[in-house]
Amino acid sequence: MKEIKQLSVLENLESAKQYRRWLISLASELFKNEVFELGSGIGLYAREILAADDTKQISKYHVTEIDDESLMILRERFKDEQRVKIHNLNFELQIGQNANSFLSWNVLEHINDDVAALKLANKVCIPGSSVFALVPAMPFAYSKFDRELHHFRRYTKTELLSKAKLAGLKEVEVHYVNGIGILNWYVFVKVLNLRPKNNLLLKIYDQVVVPVQVKIERKIGLPFGQSLVLRAKTT
């Protein structure tokens, strides 16, 4: 089976600014004090969150990765940002139980033992801290592209709720986002076997469709979506 390096996908989709800002906005109330991000990739989310933090509400931002190439990019990208602490997840974390929030965007699906990954929130966060995770939804849309990216799964609401509770989290809530996205994914990625790329179609979706979609989904909760959002508290 052909393998696709996650780093190349992140670089291809770096220009999807409206889409990324939408996903960031879903957790905007958590960007304060000490923040822990699980699986930071090449730092696209962390960079935008810190750039928008004009009043310096974030005192420390932990970015984490296991991929050596991504870690090199993170070190270069944040070399002048004193608030950022970079951690290699292949080694024991040395941050203590000090974080106030635990964040992840499209990470848990890459981890075989995703319950253990969620348990990490209780280890690095103060009790009662907020947990946010965005993951791909709808198992029927699992594609060849998912396999190439080493996605172990696409989640159902029941599965994500159950795993969050198994991880010892409390006040667990799960909801769908990106209703149009799942239709696009199923047609273009699942059926037509295409790959998301930094091209004209992506730019049209990002600049035209996403702003409209955000307005709709802020008013209407959808019973389906490309992604699921998990919100919970640490114990």
Q: Which three-class secondary structure state does DSSP give residue 101? A: strand
Which tokens is 66 given? 């296991």
Taking only Cα atoms into account, the Rg of the chain, rounded to an integer number of angstroms, comes to 17
Q: What are the CA-CA distances from residue 151 to residues 12, 97, 179, 205 (Å)?
A: 18, 29, 20, 24
- Given CA atoms 208, 212, 218, 221 in this order, what sign does their dihedral have? negative
Q: Which three-class secondary structure state does DSSP give residue 24? A: helix
Contact 101, 37 (CB under 8 A): no
Whole-model pTM?
0.94
pLDDT at 12: 62
Q: Which domains does the chain have, with CATH numbers?
A: 6-233 (3.40.50.150)
- How long a stretch of residues is the chain? 235
pLDDT at 4: 46
Collect the ranges in the chain with pLDDT lower than 70. Answer: 1-12
pLDDT at 2: 42
Contact 28, 58 (CB under 8 A): no
pLDDT at 9: 65
Which tokens is 73 given? 């990019």
Q: Which of 224, 235, 106 is nearest to 169 (CA)?
A: 235
